[in-house]
Amino acid sequence: MIHEILPVGPLQCNCSVIGDEESRDAVVIDPGDEIEQVLELVRKHNLKVKQIVITHAHVDHVGGAMKLRAATGAPILLNQNDYALLKMLDVQAAWLGMAAPGRVEIDHSLGEADVVKTGPLIGQVLHTPGHTEGSICLYFPAESKLIAGDTLFAGSIGRTDLPGGSFEKILRSIHDRVLVLPDDTVVVPGHGPVTTIGEERESNPFLVKR
């Protein structure tokens, strides 16, 4: 598996470029910004982007999706429970003092039990509401890797004070869907450093049982 993690935009959203070494097929996850640099990575590995997956409809994760779609022809996938948030991108950008990205069109919804296939690489969609209603994680069991969006961070969890957020739901999602994964699963959060399920189970202050 080829996997490049590129922090993009003012909030340094972790954009992942995941590619299959044989077919050179690739999926790009959360192209929030800096699409020129994302495309540079795609070219460096001689990849063909087949799908664009958005973990949730916050502007720092989805802002560059249309530009990437225009450059690659790949469809944009987002859970339908975040379609309402997607209509508020300009409002979100104003909160963050960012330039509005314009309208983003979704080609397909991604839901629980869907799989994102990239050559032989299988990414399982886990619907993990809480940070937003439509938040998803993408789990690659054969590679022991989880792309977690803003659901789980190293030492923290996603904020739940924005529209559609729920502290109860994010805890339930993390306990029921994420912490059930094997300890050695590498977690790539939506921002900040990479971690593992075992490390977060052991030491994340939001998750350790007292």
Interface ranges with Zn ion (CB under 5 A): 58, 150
Does the CA dihedral 180-128-160-18 come out positive or negative? positive
When the beta carbons of 58 and 177 are compared against Zn ion, the nearer one is: 58
When the beta carbons of 25 and 150 are compared against Zn ion, the nearer one is: 150
When the beta carbons of 58 and 145 are compared against Zn ion, the nearer one is: 58
Q: How far is the CB of 176 from Zn ion (least distance, A)?
A: 20
Q: How far is the CB of 61 from Zn ion (least distance, A)?
A: 6
Neighbour-count burial of 68, counting CB atoms closer than 10 A to its CB (0-12 exposed, 13-18 middle, 19+ buried): buried
Q: Which residue, judged by CB position, is nearest to Zn ion in the bound state?
A: 58
Q: How far is the CB of 92 from Zn ion (least distance, A)?
A: 9
Q: How far is the CB of 60 from Zn ion (least distance, A)?
A: 7
Q: What is the DSSP string of 50-90?
A: EEEE-SS--HHHHTTHHHHHHHH-PPEE--GGGHHHHTTHH
When the beta carbons of 9 and 19 are compared against Zn ion, the nearer one is: 9
Q: What is the largest CA-CA distance in the chain?
A: 50
| Cα–Cα dist 69/53, whole Å | 11
